[in-house]
Amino acid sequence: MVSKFFYHFFKDKLLVPHEVSIYLNLIANLVVISIFGYILFKLLRFFGRKFLGKIAYKTKTSFDDLLIKNNVFRNISRIIILSLFNSSLHILLEALPLLYKYFEKIVSIAIILFTVWLIRSILLSIKDFLREFSAFKDKPLESYVQIFMVILWMIATIIAFSVLTDKSLYRFLTALGTFSAILLLIFKDTILGFVASIQITINDTVRLNDWITMKKYSADGSVIEINLASVIVKNFDNTVTSIPTYSLISDSFKNWRAMSNSEGRRIKRSVLIKVNSIKFIEDLSSFNKIELLKPYITNSLKEINRYNREKNIDKSLLINGRNLTNLGLFRKYLDEYLKQHPKINQELLFMTRQLESTPNGIPLEVYAFSKDKTWVNYERITADIFDHIFASIPYFDLEVFELPTGNDLNHLSK
């Protein structure tokens, strides 16, 4: 037999003792098989690259290219070689039954390992292929692959231990149950991440490319990866934050996706007006020159004068009856300004409202939605609106509240 060729060569030709010849025969056979296996692996790899590569290049689909890229055929080659080696072990180690038993277990575990790698390569190819479709670009496919791989590694580990210990799977699982509490502690983060990934997927809480804000982890940016252990966020300043996946279930965070998908981005900012600058208006001549206020002033004066006449109001004092105030006119002016602004979405709610007074003055808030939702453009639109507001305030004899500065205090002391 071929397996005993080197044994007879060492024992009969070189007169080596029987026991030594057995081990030398084993080493020689292993060297020959290793060389043969290496050559076979290279041939299979060459076949995969040249023949299958050409077929993949000619096909319209990219899936076969991804199979090659993710080493599917390389892992198949390894499994084929290991299977051939495993089938020849009983011949090689016929004279060493104890060694044959250990070698068989090692090779069997190696086959299990490469089978897991093969399945992983196929899953990665499927994931990369699905990424080419727009419907899957924002889906956490990495999490799906990792969830499947966790389950697969658990199954592979159980089978490997069963092979090592020569115990049936049923007996091994029964023994494993007694250590379940310890396993839960060891794999706590993995289990929490596993549960969180499923909940995030089902509830559609976070997708890839969503902009999220999470103060606890100083995260403020776009989600670039979602996996079992963490969610990776690329912040606006190009730093990267890693958030534990389970934190997106247990803690609060802000997702800006709804804003991105809506018809506008909200502007909600206020100006503090000094209370002592608010007054009734005696002379409207200067305000009539403001184009946006002309129709409002005309209609309001008619209504106010009619009301005051019907009620016989004594107008020797402005406080009597109905009157226009500079703050009221300014508020109406801002409403009209927003109404004609080309970058404010007129289909969504917009208004200027007066909030509850504070020790620092009366907040006059602008509430509107910009058509452009891009951050840079949104900030420019908001700044332009408030530049105009601050420049318009003196025309209404109003003042903006400011805390005293050093120069103000020096002026007061004089």
- pLDDT per position as a tens digit, 20-76: 666 666 666 667 667 776 777 677 677 766 666 666 666 777 777 788 788 887 788
**Where does a domain end: 137, 154, 179?**
137
More confident residue, 34 or 378: 378
Q: Indicate the pLDDT class of residue 2, thresholds 50, 70 and 90.
A: very low
What pLDDT score does 396 carry?
A: 94
Residue of 133 and 123 predicted with greater confidence: 123
The pLDDT tens digits of the residues spanning 114-124 come to 999 999 999 99
**Beta bridge mates, 232:** 225, 242
Residue 78 lies in a domain: yes
For residues 364 and 352, the answer to whether their CB atoms sit within 8 Å is: yes
Mean of per-residue pLDDT scores for the chain? 81
Residue 219: both structure tokens together: 């995260």
CA distance 348 to 370: 9
pLDDT-based confidence at 9, cuts 50/70/90?
low
Residue 83 contacts residue 110 (beta carbons within 8 Å): no
pLDDT value of residue 221: 93
Residue 318 maps to a domain: yes
Residue 200 pLDDT greater than 70, yes or no: yes
Nearest CA to 86 out of 105, 63, 66 is that of: 105
381 assigned to some structural domain = yes
Residue at 185 is within a domain: no
| Confidence band of 11 (pLDDT split at 50, 70, 90) | low
Burial class (CB in 10 A: 0-12, 13-18, 19+), 152: middle
- Examine residue 364 and state whether it is found in any structural domain, yes or no: yes
Number of domains observed in the structure of the chain: 2
Question: Which of 82, 112, 137 finishes a domain?
Answer: 137
- pTM score: 0.56
Radius of gyration of the chain (CA): 39
CA 130 to chain centre: 17
- Judging by DSSP bridges, how do beta strands 219-226 and 230-235 pair with one another? antiparallel
CB 281 within 8 A of CB 287: yes
CB 343 within 8 A of CB 382: no
Express each pLDDT in 379-397 by its tens digit.
Answer: 999 999 999 999 999 999 9
> Is residue 339 a contact partner of residue 351, using CB atoms and an 8 Å limit?
no
Nearest to 115 by CA among 86, 146, 79: 79
- Per the CB < 8 A criterion, the answer to whether 235 and 215 are in contact is no
322 domain-assigned: yes
**pLDDT computed for residue 382 by the predictor:** 96
Q: Which residues have a Cβ under 8 Å from the Cβ of 177 and sit 6 or more positions away?
A: none
At residue 8 the predicted structure's pLDDT band, cuts being 50, 70 and 90, is low
Helices (H), 93-232: 97-130, 141-165, 169-178, 180-186, 188-203
Give the CA diameter of the chain: 138
Mean pLDDT of all residues in 62-91: 77
Q: Is residue 188 part of a domain?
A: no
Using the 3D structure, point to which of 137, 170, 205 is the last residue of a domain.
137
Q: Report the helix count and the strand count for the chain, using DSSP H and E.
A: 16, 8
Contacts of 54 (CB under 8 A, 6+ apart): none
Domain limits for position 347: 265-413
User: Which residues, 6 or more positions from 3, have their beta carbon under 8 angstroms from its beta carbon?
Assistant: 25, 29, 91, 92, 94
| 269 shares its domain with 409 | yes
Judge whether 260 lies within some domain.
no
**Residue 404 has which token pair?**
């005293």
